[in-house]
Structure 1
């Protein structure tokens, strides 16, 4: 019996009205108990939402340097230009204060904003779509508790044609499918939990899966590495060159939890992931590592990349720079110093396919973290050539082997001084969508090829679309879109062998915008 009930009965007896007091007091007690239970349930829901938000890394993306948590303004680098993360505090109108729960779910699961327009895929909604109703509810409950912060953010800072959201709608038709995670019966609870977290909440594949020339994930290159936001997320698939090969479940769990097994510390954006997971339940981190290792078992091994050879002169130049600037912390064996400097040997962030991670660290430095010392920036003290030389030395020493050497041009690009305009050394057709062309006539192929010799003009695709409609009259919009995009991509790469990657992307996006209009006009 509650205290309030006992006191009410006693008081009523003294007043001689015992027949009424117990029923009134009992109703009040039950109502108070229900309110307390509801309040407790809501608190639990908010706490769960905060936990999920941490695992998803929401704060890392939605907080600018020296900015307020969740108030947005962080610059996100993409192959197409700059985006800025939006304000997701409860401020109205600069945040999401005017949003409903359905608006919130639409952004996470369907990639649409409050008005129903498509969101840019820098927001990993193609991963968050796997999340459960219960977890969406929890996140929504948590974000409703975030204090409003006024911060108007111009989220889209892309040049034409990438600033046209219509092109994003086309991208979504090609690469986005709404879905929910379905547990696999043959897996135990740990593997299914790990798959749900890794594929959905923590969105590992969003960074580690190779992208094609228009930013679409390449399905048969899942977890094989990609450059994201100016950093290289290494290959963690089951291929022969995978950096996952150095881990077992115990060491991978420790690495993900930011515990630096054998001096192996995360840096760059992966540090943010490890920082988040260090606050997660151990069982969840273990589940993620178990899944990542399990899924790799089904990947094809592939062939090992050819190792790049560093000349003796270049090795000597790099060694001299390393000795003068790096040796005192990282050691002559590259194994680092516990609590001071990370190990450079067999480190996936160091000897990945792309040298950009080492270049970025040398240019940007790393602030002191926990019990680790500061990594100084060499932005002003070393030239582009010197940074390239020491990068190559580190990536080719102590048994490290890499398929690509750094150049001064790589460093210049990382400094933000110039855009790297790679021509002639990339197989652009490898980035084209691969689709079945069964039923597509030579007339349609020729019509697409005819518009690939220059930037596509308004109305120029009507003949090609009409021909395709004749070929695939019963096909869905997505099928027509992928066929035309694939044909144009292949033709563009073949007709202009010297086209830069930047121009290649821009021409494709412009084509996709015009194609969307042409298909719509055709009816």
Structure 2
């Protein structure tokens, strides 16, 4: 079905826009050709766009690419965006770079896969994209070939992407909302453009396009559930402009805990971004999340009932978790949030809670490790017992099911 949908889209695309012309190579511009202010602004914008995270392999130089990006359709490898002339973008003009970012077309005319989130970058101003170009073209040149993508049969045929774009690429400049503040509009521009928050926090259809009408309803990122950024978020009542700003800027908020999974590197990057822009993002997201909420907040702690139902989970919790998460514990008094406030505990899907236990919460932004991984010290059954107990004690939601199977699968995929 997936291949069939892509094929139909591809046929339509072939008729209209399969051919994109190559743009001429240029001699690599000298560093002194770029104004220092433009480079500095480009650095901030590239950090907002999280470019270094996707375009840097674990063993590689910054921006030299080759990072594996796993998708439902196979593995893509990020490209080298250093100014190397043979393996990077050193012979790309400003025009070629802007076209790639807004239309998903490489300098040589090949269509690019939407792992590059041009669905969002298409709304970014040319001026901002040219500043990012100035920043990238003044980085250290690194020669590194990008490995071949490993995709499902047929999906390596790039002209099919022209049809995908006809269906899902909605071009257009950002238009401010006139009855909103400049700060709110700046946040909207960043969230829906360079920061491309919807790329993770919006559900996708069978052919990988963001579902229209469900923007920010929640999605999946690197195996983690990216929660909704609207009023349906289970912790929406507790998120404020202040708490969102702290979470985005430091990767931690005392009422919500630490940024886990792929959100950790995002917060790491935002720690280096101008505070006014991080505040604007927080203002916009908070407005979306609090729309229509009554802010009736209840603390939940069903300790006796949960221990009766899950005695082994309660025993393990006391040994491994209570030092930080029990009411009145020494670490809890130092800023660890009550588990009843954590989105991962409130969500109907236990995936994020399971991954946090398996992988831990690593150090970010100069902080010590916030939670150690338990993958090596607890069995799948032990972890399932702990999760069942935590869900029963600190949430009023229905019990999580098939926890042991979920943990076993997550451990294998980790």
Question: One fold, TM greater than 0.5?
Answer: yes
1:391–1:406 contact (8 Å) kept in structure 2: no
**For 1:77, what is the secondary structure of its paired residue?**
strand
Deviations 1:45-65 (A, max 9, x none): 000000101111111111122
Matched, 1:360 2:355: yes
Query: CA–CA distance in 2 between the matches of 1:67 and 1:350?
Result: 36
Matched, 1:347 2:342: yes
Closer, same or farther: CA 350–153 of 1 in aligned 2, 3 Å: farther
Closer, same or farther: CA 167–243 of 1 in aligned 2, 3 Å: farther
1:335–1:342 contact (8 Å) kept in structure 2: no
Offset at 1:143?
0.5
Structure 2 matches for 1:4-153, cutoff 5 A? Answer: 42-153=35-146
The RMSD of aligned alpha carbons is 3.1
Query: CA–CA distance in 2 between the matches of 1:313 and 1:173?
Result: 56
1:339–1:371 contact (8 Å) kept in structure 2: no
Structure 2 matches for 1:275-424, cutoff 5 A? Answer: 275-296=268-289, 315-331=310-326, 337=332, 344-369=339-364, 370-373=366-369, 375-399=371-395, 401=397, 404-405=400-401, 407-416=403-412
Query: CA–CA distance in 1 between the matches of 2:187 and 2:148?
Result: 32
**For 2:174, what is the secondary structure of its paired residue?**
coil
Query: CA–CA distance in 2 between the matches of 1:367 and 1:294?
Result: 29
Deviations 1:346-370 (A, max 9, x none): 1124433332222222222333332
Query: CA–CA distance in 2 between the matches of 1:335 and 1:271?
Result: 25
Query: CA–CA distance in 1 between the matches of 2:111 and 2:412?
Result: 29
Deviations 1:187-230 (A, max 9, x none): 22111111111110111111111222222212222211111111
Closer, same or farther: CA 318–332 of 1 in aligned 2, 3 Å: farther
| Equivalent residue pairs, number | 373
Deviations 1:474-499 (A, max 9, x none): xxxxxxxxxxxxxxxxxxxxxxxxxx
Query: CA–CA distance in 1 between the matches of 2:238 and 2:335?
Result: 22
Structure 2 matches for 1:504-523, cutoff 5 A? Answer: none
**For 2:243, what is the secondary structure of its paired residue?**
helix
**For 1:251, what is the secondary structure of its paired residue?**
helix
Closer, same or farther: CA 83–299 of 1 in aligned 2, 3 Å: farther
1:363–1:378 contact (8 Å) kept in structure 2: yes
1:363–1:379 contact (8 Å) kept in structure 2: yes
Give the gaps of 5 or more residues in structure 2. Answer: 1-30, 295-304
Q: Counterpart of 1:494?
A: none
2:306–2:392 contact (8 Å) kept in structure 1: no
Matched, 1:246 2:246: no
Q: Counterpart of 2:161?
A: 168
**For 1:416, what is the secondary structure of its paired residue?**
helix
Query: CA–CA distance in 1 between the matches of 2:316 and 2:328?
Result: 15
Greater CA radius of gyration, 1 or 2?
1
Query: CA–CA distance in 2 between the matches of 1:137 and 1:258?
Result: 28
Closer, same or farther: CA 394–118 of 1 in aligned 2, 3 Å: farther
Query: CA–CA distance in 2 between the matches of 1:61 and 1:314?
Result: 44
Closer, same or farther: CA 119–244 of 1 in aligned 2, 3 Å: farther
2:345–2:391 contact (8 Å) kept in structure 1: yes
TM-score by length of 1: 0.64
**For 1:345, what is the secondary structure of its paired residue?**
helix
Query: CA–CA distance in 2 between the matches of 1:329 and 1:136?
Result: 44
Q: Counterpart of 2:252?
A: 260
Deviations 1:363-395 (A, max 9, x none): 223333323335332223333333233233333
Structure 2 matches for 1:458-497, cutoff 5 A? Answer: none
1:234–1:353 contact (8 Å) kept in structure 2: no
1:362–1:377 contact (8 Å) kept in structure 2: yes
Offset at 1:110?
0.7
1:193 pairs, out of 186, 193, 217, with 186
Give the gaps of 5 or more residues in structure 1. Answer: 1-37, 302-309, 419-523
Deviations 1:51-96 (A, max 9, x none): 1011111111111224221112322222223222222112232222
Closer, same or farther: CA 82–403 of 1 in aligned 2, 3 Å: farther
2:323–2:332 contact (8 Å) kept in structure 1: no
Query: CA–CA distance in 1 between the matches of 2:334 and 2:185?
Result: 35
